[in-house]
Chain A
Amino acid sequence: MVETGHFALVLAFALALVQTVVPLFGARTGNHKMMAVGAPAALTGFALTALSFVALATAYAGSDFSVESVWENSHSLQPLIYKITGTWGNHEGSMLLWVLILTFFGALVAVFGGNLPATLRANVLAVQGAIGATFLLFILTTSNPFVRLNPAPIEGRDLNPILQDLGLAIHPPLLYLGYVGFSICFSFSVAALIEGRIDASWARWVRPWTLVAWMFLTGGIAMGSYWAYYELGWGGFWFWDPVENASFMPWLAGTALLHSAIVMEKRSALKIWTLLLAILTFSLSLLGTFLVRSGVLTSVHAFATDPTRGVFILCILTLFIGGSLALFALRASRLTAGGLFHPISREGALVLNNLFLTTATATVLVGTLYPLVVEALSADKISVGAPFFNLTFGPLMVPLLVVVPFGPLLAWKRGDIFAVAQRLMAAFAAALLAVLVTALFIDGASVLAALGVGLAFWLICGAFTDLAVKSGFGTVAPATVLRRFAGLPRSVFGTALAHLGLGLTTLGIVGTLCFGTEKILSMHAGDTVELSGHTLRFEGLYPAQGPNYSEDRGRFALLGADGSIAGEITSAKRSYPVRQMTTTESGISTIGFSQLYLSLGDEASDGSVVVRLWWKPLVTLIWGGGLVMMAGAAMSLLDRRLRVGAPSSRKPAGAVPSASPP
């Protein structure tokens, strides 16, 4: 099975080369037979990569330690779920997952692209094939997951204990679906540049793909943040770690792309800019892959490092980013600029959104790379940490968040800012009320904290105002309002949901940072501790044995007002003998939207235990807001407009039989 997987991977590489060369040549010469090669090649390439991935996963699930990568990252005593997720919990396997998702998206274009102009589809598949081919070559030459060991070891070296968590099952696949999903937008942009024109179907296609990728990337980042929050035992939800930044940059650029794609689709303006953004977004995804995979950074996520791979990925980066930007420089002037608009209009608001988001992206990029550049040029070492990003990124986000509720209410082409402001009066009043209530009734609230809460409420109420105004609330009869509400396009709900999610995340961040409390103390069994109105009693330490670890569980009883036990929190110090690593399993109790977070420290000689306890108000909203944003993207994808009505220029039936839309 392992050799089958290896063979399938080599075959997938060869096929990816065919997928690149033949359709590209066909599109140049107008040869329809050659262009038609793209779709079946993409489908077969996906099938072969999937076969290869299944072969590797089978080796992991069956603990086949004759495979080097399995031996290094698995253990026979691990629970089956972690044996399987361990497939991508290492460099080789995660690269294979990356390519699997890349070929999956290529196959989707092959299946659903039947209504695209033939040359555009051929060029898109060719570019997609080229990305696949380089990454397959990278895997085969520098990171082959199928290398055998002879003689085979009896036992494996265990998966990194930090990764032995459900988070590994969800976070990387979601993140890669996002990262790699932007490859479609990239391929479409490069294909448009190769052809030298952007037609209507191009605009129709790029937006849904951006939505899909953005939705998954949002989920991946939110999931990763929650995973780090509970697994690392520090109680932080964002560390401005270079690896986090690597996933955040494509998200920021992707968010800008999402908004500029709306302008392009609706008003056919900002075409060139949208094209450039699509290229930049995927370039940042590639850069993120490079930063994480090459080991050029030292950070908490750097569990797989090998400098020789770095050079290879750097070559891939140069090829694709440099190549696409060069093509852009050569061809962009051929593309025609689109419709006109007044600065105060929906388009104008979206341009402002793009200005702030791209500046924020560049800020994070410069902050992440600056230490590397300084070290390379001067042999000095500097650090760029959280204080830098808080000081630069924060102020950039505030004005952006303030204008968010205006955007969807402004009219296209020429908007009336005063009319919009009037409609937003209720939202503004609610935000003002939130500021006053926070400042007056919550102890220890600073002015900044109160303003932060106000900003969050401004966003939340702004999202509802958008829906209310568009269903005619207050201007027509209630029954008509309901009918109009039900009849609103799904994309309007999508926008409102995404902006609502943004408001919820903001509220969660402000609540946790400004109103969180913390207590660090050492406790004996029977001691009680009180934090922000919650009382915990330490019940004692109990040893326990897991499948591949042993742990000391600290049990804490959450006491009600009358002293009765209202709940239990368990936090553990876990020790994994194979890797000789200890991890802290934090204990979390969710109360409303807030959480009590408890992490066990060292045991002293007198039997007392160090306990770190945090009260994190509204902390779950940080990730809950992410889920609402995902729901917004999903809602937009369900919009009728994206499913039907794409301009049809389908080739005569029979030209591409395997690729007609279902």
Chain B
Amino acid sequence: MSQRVTLASLVLLLALLFAGAAQAVKPDEVLADPALEARARALSEGLRCMVCQNQSIDESDADLARDLRILVRQRLVAGDTDQQVMDYVVSRYGEFVLLKPRFNLRNALLWGTPVLLLLVGGTFILLAARSRRSTATAALTSDEKAALDAILRRD
């Protein structure tokens, strides 16, 4: 993640040097402070463009995405932390806008699935292996044991 942030700031710096940056992020949106702009782009990657199908506002050319990008930058300039910006955007647009769902009770199953499955699956495999081994060693009946002893004694 930090790699992408530094990358974004590098791109931004180059874009500022060469002037006329455009793409989804238009030149008139770009903040003067590169550190603040880098934070804005990192936040934008986690916000969904509400009218697009599966794009973040950082990638989208839609007007609504542009409005949201400007809003994010306004809050950053006003001195909000990243968390405050996200909270503000969610209070206006709902959780739908977050590409990374929050850690809360409703999303417990979503975030918990990988960990839960690894634990349950791992435990099951361990137990199965152990029970199999014990049944395997207990498989000899007394008759078989006697026969085996007889064979061993012969040598």
Contacts and interface: CB of A to CB of B under 8 A. Distances in A.
Given A385-B48, A388-B99, A449-B3, A298 B18 contact: no
B53 interface: yes
B113 A363 contact: yes
Interface in B19-51: 19-23, 25, 45-46, 48
Contacts of A380: 94-96, 106
- In the complex, which range does the number of interface residues on chain A fall in? 35 or more
Nearest to A527: B18
B65 interface: no
A521 B114 CA distance: 42
Interface stretch (A4-12, A167-175, A512-520): A512-520
Contacts of B6: 444, 446
Contacts of B7: 444, 516-518
11 contacts: A241-B54, A298-B53, A340-B132, A380-B106, A385-B48, A388-B110, A395-B114, A444-B10, A446-B6, A520-B21, A522-B22
Contact of A359 (B46, B114, B132): B114
A385 B121 contact: no
A455 to B, nearest CB: 15
B35 to A, nearest CB: 17
B121 A519 contact: no
Interface of A: 234, 239, 241-242, 298-300, 302, 337, 340, 343, 351, 355-356, 358-360, 362-363, 366-367, 370, 374, 378, 380-388, 391-392, 395-396, 444, 446, 448-449, 514, 516-522, 529, 601-602, 608, 610, 612
Contact of A612 (B23, B94, B118): B23
Contacts of A366: 109-110, 113
A76 to B, nearest CB: 30
- In the complex, which range does the number of interface residues on chain B fall in? 35 or more
Interface of A is mostly: mixed
B15 A355 contact: no
A381 B96 CA distance: 5
Interface string B103-121: 0001101110110011001
The 9 tightest CB contacts between A and B, nearest first, are A385-B99, A387-B100, A522-B20, A381-B96, A520-B23, A610-B22, A359-B117, A446-B3, A366-B113
A386 B100 CA distance: 7
B79 interface: no
Given A355-B122, A362-B113, A519 B15 contact: yes
B2 to A, nearest CB: 7
B47 to A, nearest CB: 9
A509 to B, nearest CB: 13
Given A340-B132, A358-B121, A385-B48, A300 B3 contact: no
Nearest to A395: B114
A382 B129 contact: no
Interface in B121-151: 121-122, 125, 129, 132-133, 136
